[in-house]
């Protein structure tokens, strides 16, 4: 037979569970998603946006914008947006409060690669030609950024003229391509483990590296590379890119070798390191 103490305990537990079941859950809202139609690319693009915590549509404060190229929710958007917010917390104050824009990819092998006459170099780099049924749309993709996406962001959000782009692997290749051909598009270029093998290393030949020497506006470039034990060619090409950047005093460049990371793990640590190099002071050192 159940005694009074046991009965009271069961009653309390039942009431407790009943109270828990009545708690209303709320969605955890990180940001918003926009669907933008591109007439240049002839397709709709998903854009994810996170605003600064102190963003007020009614004041006059404007914010820098961080563009994440592999910016889908299932790509690098959430964890990199977290790094931006972490480094801009008032008790850290390393990175400025920023609008974060993630561009979800549809076919990154098409958008992030520049035009080439053939794919003969692909197998030499250890890949299959079948992996690239479509490729070489980098110039059109840049036109989409410059003429459609960036104007959309600056029209609908309180954005200032400071823009940072983050790209890794093929997106790092693309970031390098933009730096050489359209350097005015961004202020800060965070280039991580770039696939400079594309086009048989064309971006590193004399014809293209001379474009770096002609850049007249001030830009900041971070080049982060994972362990060369995994991929010697990627390391050597990335290091050559950094050496080429040194030839232009308008380019403030930073080199970062991360020997404990591999190609698939490097991006998170590299982006945090990039913030430290591009914005070396914090709340305590200002």
pLDDT digits 0-9 by tens, 89-142: 999 999 999 999 999 999 999 999 999 999 999 998 889 999 999 999 999 999
Mean pLDDT calculated for residue range 237-254: 96
Lowest mean pLDDT among 20-29, 225-234, 252-261: 20-29
pLDDT for the residue numbered 206: 83
CB atoms within 10 A of CB 160: 15
Nearest alpha-carbon partner for 113 in 89, 98, 90, 131: 131
How far apart are the C-alpha atoms of 105 and 86, rounded to whole Å? 25
Number of C-alpha atoms within 13 angstroms, CB side, residue 29? 7
Contacts of 8 (CB under 8 A, 6+ apart): none
Q: Where residue 1 falls among pLDDT bands split at 50, 70, 90?
A: very low
Alpha carbon of 40 to those of 69, 116, 174: distances in Å? 17, 20, 18
Alpha carbon of 70 to those of 18, 97, 98, 172, 249: distances in Å? 44, 21, 18, 10, 30
Lowest mean pLDDT among 12-21, 44-53, 94-103, 134-143: 12-21
Alpha carbon of 53 to those of 86, 88, 132, 133, 154: distances in Å? 11, 10, 41, 42, 18
Where is 170: in which H helix or E strand? helix 170-181
pLDDT for the residue numbered 125: 86
Q: Which residue has the tokens 């030609």?
A: 129
Q: Does residue 93 lie within any of the structural domains?
A: yes
Q: Does residue 110 lie within any of the structural domains?
A: yes
pLDDT for the residue numbered 209: 86
**Does position 283 have pLDDT exceeding 80, yes or no?**
no
Q: Does residue 5 lie within any of the structural domains?
A: no
Mean pLDDT calculated for residue range 234-260: 96
Q: Does residue 3 lie within any of the structural domains?
A: no
Q: Does residue 161 lie within any of the structural domains?
A: yes
**Does position 6 have pLDDT exceeding 60, yes or no?**
no
Mean pLDDT calculated for residue range 189-206: 96
Tell me 164's DSSP state: E
DSSP 3-state assignment of 135?
coil
In sequence order, what DSSP letters do the residues of 192-211 get, joined into one string?
ES--TTTTTTGGGSHHHHHH
More confident residue, 135 or 22: 135
Q: Does residue 16 lie within any of the structural domains?
A: no
Alpha helices in 51-145 (DSSP H): 77-87, 108-111, 120-124, 138-144
CATH of the domain at 98: 3.40.50.1820
User: Which domain, by its residues, includes 179?
Assistant: 28-278
Q: Does residue 2 lie within any of the structural domains?
A: no
pLDDT for the residue numbered 4: 52
**Does position 286 have pLDDT exceeding 80, yes or no?**
no
Q: Does residue 90 lie within any of the structural domains?
A: yes
**Does position 30 have pLDDT exceeding 90, yes or no?**
no
Q: Where residue 72 falls among pLDDT bands split at 50, 70, 90?
A: very high
Q: Where residue 14 falls among pLDDT bands split at 50, 70, 90?
A: low
How far apart are the C-alpha atoms of 167 and 151, rounded to whole Å? 20
**Does position 252 have pLDDT exceeding 90, yes or no?**
yes
Number of domain units in the chain: 1
């Amino acid at each position: 037979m159940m005694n009074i103490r046991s009965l009271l305990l069961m009653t309390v537990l039942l009431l407790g569970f009943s109270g828990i079941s009545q708690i209303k859950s709320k969605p955890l809202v990180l940001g918003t998603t926009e669907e933008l139609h591109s007439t240049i690319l002839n397709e709709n693009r998903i854009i994810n946006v996170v605003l600064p915590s102190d963003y007020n549509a009614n004041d006059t404060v404007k914010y820098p914008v961080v563009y994440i190229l592999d910016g889908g929710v299932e790509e690098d958007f959430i964890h990199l947006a977290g790094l931006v917010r972490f480094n801009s917390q008032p008790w850290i104050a390393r990175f400025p409060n920023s609008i974060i824009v993630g561009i979800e990819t549809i076919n990154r092998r098409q958008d992030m690669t520049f035009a080439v006459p053939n794919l003969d170099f692909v197998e030499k780099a250890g890949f299959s030609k079948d992996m690239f049924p479509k490729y070489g749309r980098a110039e059109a993709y840049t036109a989409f950024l410059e003429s459609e996406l960036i104007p959309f962001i600056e029209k609908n959000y309180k954005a200032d003229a400071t823009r940072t782009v983050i790209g890794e692997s093929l997106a790092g290749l693309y970031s390098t391509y933009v730096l050489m051909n359209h350097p005015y598009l961004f202020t800060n270029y965070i280039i991580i483990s770039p696939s400079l093998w594309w086009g048989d290393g064309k971006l590193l030949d004399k014809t293209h590296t001379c474009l770096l020497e002609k850049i007249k506006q001030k830009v900041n470039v971070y080049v982060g590379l994972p362990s060369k034990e995994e991929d010697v060619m990627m390391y050597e090409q990335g290091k050559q890119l950094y050496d080429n950047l040194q030839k232009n005093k308008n380019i403030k460049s930073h080199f970062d070798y991360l020997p404990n990371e591999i190609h698939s793990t490097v991006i998170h640590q590299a982006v945090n390191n990039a913030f430290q190099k591009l914005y070396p002071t914090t709340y305590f050192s200002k």
